[in-house]
Amino acid sequence: MSATSSRTPSFWDDAVVYQLYVRSFADSDGDGVGDLGGVIRRLDHIAGLGAGAIWLNPCYPSPQADHGYDIADYRGVNPEYGTLETFDRLVAEAHARGLRILLDLVPNHCSDRHPWFTAALAAGPGSPERARFVFRDGRGDAPPNNWQSVFGGPAWTRVTEPDGTPGQWYLHLFTREQPDFDWRNAEVLAEFDDILRFWFDRGVDGFRIDVCHGLIKDAALRDWDGGGYNAHSWNQPEVHGIFRRWRALAEGYDRDLLLVGEVWVPDPGDLDDYLRPDELHQAFSFDLLVQPWDAGALRGAVERAAARTAVHGAPAAWTLANHDVHRAVTRYGIVRPEPAPPSNDAFAALMRPRGEVDVKLGERRARAALLLVLALPGSVFLYQGEELGLPEVLDLPDEARQDPVFHRSGGREKGRDGCRVPLPWSAAAPAFGFGTGTPWLPQPDWFAAYAADVQDETSTLHLYRRAIRARHELGLGEPGEVAWLATGEDTVLAFRRGEVVCVVNTGATDFTPPAQWGAVVLHSGEPAVVAADTAAWLAPARS
């Protein structure tokens, strides 16, 4: 018996969640920046896809040093995006369409303009204000330890004390504008309890939680050994107490509230502890996202995720793209890989692989990969623009780039702007229908071919709509077994979900499924066979 069958069903068991990067979705007021008014106007696009929930990337007041992941006020809305009233309207309009709303909770760090941090700077060493962050004396003129920022450069910045002398250092695992909280401090815990309640009380249906594995640091802040993943800054055992606390808080409400974690750990088995029945409901399966286009590799990641679900019953959270990684079309389209530049981020090479890209090939494979994830038990998180088949914008001019990853790495790493370019809605409209102003990142001319209004019956957008509808009708996302079927080919994977068989062909030649698997009900390429780089769902003919 599966561990999931005894649980009460929740919306995230099999939901399709649309990840919405507010800044780049739709601009309603002509300032070139996406906003909540734009989201409200385009809600029918998301409902029409068949999604059941939306995850909004951070839309709180923020100086935008890391596009919203540097929060100055956890209880407001960035004025560029709207007001709390706009937010309330969005929640109401979304709920009216059966769409839940998930916010992005960013607990590891705030903005250096957050009132707590400015107070900490003013209050000086040893103060309770500083104790909410990780301030330390240096080692002579050197930082307190050798930790590196994920985005390049050291993880410490030295402050000038109120009396004008060079003073203490504060820790920031990301940019210097993102000081890390000290999660051993009771005031920090209490503050976040209150933030969670603030939004739950406003009607949000859960949180995607940023950098879960980073909240607690080694108590002695020991030096990193220099080899890849820093075992002293990430994945500390004490972090789990925080998730238990939030889970208990969420359970205090009489409705379905989701906590889904962003947890990057080198061994997928390390996720198990985060998914204990009194911690997070889900954690993203990045293991699948980082696999190459290879049947064995993809199957391995699916099996490992199924093993996670078997331990504590937590449904998988599948995802093939997000706002930090190269778009799926581009990743799967790499025909001649190039070595990754050196990076402080142990996962950068996997998230943003480089090389010569065959876009048509990548598109074919990304469509097939969609049928793979939509056939799996668990929820599926779809990043905006993937439904249009957008490739990564690799040709952004350097002057236009805004990602701190680009700037802090001295341009060595191109960063994440290429998956954040404002969406093309109409091929013939100014800014492709994103809005009337000049978009905050330039859209390439070739975006016209991907605009939502020129996607015909054979397009990726229509495949998304058909596949999500069929997934619901066939119950493919519901808890249950993934039963692998022999295909006789290393390059073809096949599994059964109830009556339906999903076949994915990563090889170079056609695959003809045995007749007993049934007839094709949906395919990503051609109907007759499961051709190279395509996938299909088969089912017995209905009489």
Residues within the interface to ligand NOJ (CB under 6 A) = 66, 69, 106, 174, 210-211, 262, 323-324
33 contacts which partner out of Mg ion, ligand NOJ, none, CB within 5 to 8 A by kind? Answer: Mg ion
Site for Mg ion in 21-60 (CB under 5 A): 27, 29, 31, 33, 35
- Cβ 388 to ligand NOJ shortest distance, Å: 21
First and final C-alpha spacing in the chain: 31
Rounded (to 5) percent helix, strand, coil in the chain: 35, 15, 50
- Cβ 323 to ligand NOJ shortest distance, Å: 6
Nearer to ligand NOJ, 352 or 365 (CB): 352
Nearer to ligand NOJ, 35 or 262 (CB): 262
Nearest position to ligand NOJ, beta carbon: 69
29 contacts which partner out of ligand NOJ, Mg ion, none, CB within 5 to 8 A by kind? Answer: Mg ion
Structure tokens at 334: 């790499």
Nearer to ligand NOJ, 179 or 479 (CB): 179
Structure tokens at 254: 């009489």
Q: In 10 A of CB 505, how many CB atoms?
A: 27
| Region of 15 on the Ramachandran plot (φ > 0 left; ψ -120 to 50 alpha; else beta) | beta
Burial of 361 from C-beta contacts in 10 A (0-12 / 13-18 / 19+): middle
Q: What is the dihedral of CA 83, 85, 88, 92, to 10 degrees?
A: -120
> Rounded to an integer, what distance in angstroms lies between the CA atom of residue 328 and that of residue 326?
6
- Cβ 279 to ligand NOJ shortest distance, Å: 19
- Cβ 35 to Mg ion shortest distance, Å: 4
- Cβ 423 to Mg ion shortest distance, Å: 13
Structure tokens at 266: 């080198």
The 3-state DSSP class for residue 362 equals helix
> Rounded to an integer, what distance in angstroms lies between the CA atom of residue 49 and that of residue 449?
20
Structure tokens at 175: 């940019």
Q: Which of 35, 210, 387, 392 is catalytic?
A: 210
Nearer to Mg ion, 31 or 191 (CB): 31
Q: What stretches of 341-497 adopt beta strand conformation (E)?
A: 354-357, 379-383, 483-484, 492-497
Nearer to ligand NOJ, 82 or 179 (CB): 179
CB 185 within 8 A of CB 65: no
* φ/ψ of residue 326, rounded to 5: -65, 145
With CB under 5 A as the rule, give the number of residues binding Mg ion: 5
How many helices, marked H, and strands, marked E, lie in the chain? Answer: 13, 18
Q: What stretches of 301-388 adopt beta strand conformation (E)?
A: 317-319, 334-338, 354-357, 379-383
The 3-state DSSP class for residue 34 equals coil
Q: Which of 14, 80, 180, 262 is catalytic?
A: 262
- Cβ 79 to Mg ion shortest distance, Å: 10
Nearer to Mg ion, 60 or 151 (CB): 60
> Rounded to an integer, what distance in angstroms lies between the CA atom of residue 429 and that of residue 41?
16
106 contacts which partner out of ligand NOJ, Mg ion, none, CB within 5 to 8 A by kind? Answer: ligand NOJ
210 contacts which partner out of ligand NOJ, Mg ion, none, CB within 5 to 8 A by kind? Answer: ligand NOJ
> Rounded to an integer, what distance in angstroms lies between the CA atom of residue 523 and that of residue 346?
36
31 contacts which partner out of ligand NOJ, Mg ion, none, CB within 5 to 8 A by kind? Answer: Mg ion
- Cβ 164 to ligand NOJ shortest distance, Å: 32
371 contacts which partner out of ligand NOJ, Mg ion, none, CB within 5 to 8 A by kind? Answer: none
279 contacts which partner out of Mg ion, ligand NOJ, none, CB within 5 to 8 A by kind? Answer: none
Residue 14 annotated as catalytic = no
Q: What is the dihedral of CA 362, 364, 369, 372, to 10 degrees?
A: -170
Nearest position to Mg ion, beta carbon: 35
Q: Please name the residues in contact with 118: beta carbons below 8 A apart, sequence gap of 6 or more.
A: 112
Furthest CA-CA distance within the chain = 84
Nearer to Mg ion, 27 or 180 (CB): 27
69 contacts which partner out of ligand NOJ, Mg ion, none, CB within 5 to 8 A by kind? Answer: ligand NOJ
Nearer to Mg ion, 31 or 88 (CB): 31
- Cβ 39 to ligand NOJ shortest distance, Å: 19
Residue 366, CB half-sphere, CA atoms under 13 Å: how many? 32
Residue 413 annotated as catalytic = no
Catalytic residue numbers read 210, 262
Query: Applying CB under 5 A, which residues contact Mg ion?
Result: 27, 29, 31, 33, 35
